[in-house]
Structures are given as C-alpha cells and as structure tokens.
Amino acid sequence: MLVDSERICVKVDALITAELGCSFTEAEIVELFVGSSGEVHTAAVEERIGWRLETPAARLEGPGRAVFDDMREVPALLGMAGG
C-alpha cells in the first residue's frame, strides 16, 4: 500500500506549529513549506513566534529522535528500484 505522506506531514506541521503558538493553516503550510528547505521552514516559524528554535541536532537528541527510530525501510516497487 502506498501512502501520500505529504498530506500526513502537512497535518503534523499544523499540529506542531499550533503547539509552538504560531499556528499555520494547512493551506499556508502547503504554500510556504512544501518543497522548501528546513531552513526556510524554521525561519518562517521563528519569525512568527518571535524567538529562535533549538538546533535540528538538539531536536534529534531528545523526544524527536523517536520518530526516526521508528522508521522502517520500504521495499522497492517492481520496476522502480535503481540499478
């Protein structure tokens, strides 16, 4: 089964920014962040909240690390694998 993870990411971004006190609508997230770098995303959030976020490395050392620890490799689709 394939899942459109971009839709999930937009919803997660909306929840996280709301928790930070700088809500972005899902439409804003799509317009401002989809296809942009993490730096662009961070700068927009920091501008809206008025303070600097911790570094990405620091986030990965704390509770945010669990997201990456739970990731699993997805088998390549027939005909889609390189090599």
pLDDT tens digit string along 13-53? 888 888 888 889 999 999 998 888 888 888 999 899 888 88
In terms of phi and psi (left: phi > 0; alpha: psi -120 to 50; beta: otherwise), the region of 52 is: beta
Q: What is the mean pLDDT of the chain?
A: 77
For 78, phi then psi, to 5°, come to: -55, 125
One-letter amino acid of 70: D
C-alpha to C-alpha distance for 13 and 7, rounded to whole angstroms? 10
Distance of CA 64 to the CA centre of its chain: 11
Q: For position 47, what pLDDT does the model report?
A: 92
**Across 49-66, average pLDDT:** 67
> Domain map of the chain by residue range?
5-69
* Amino acid code (one letter) for 28: E
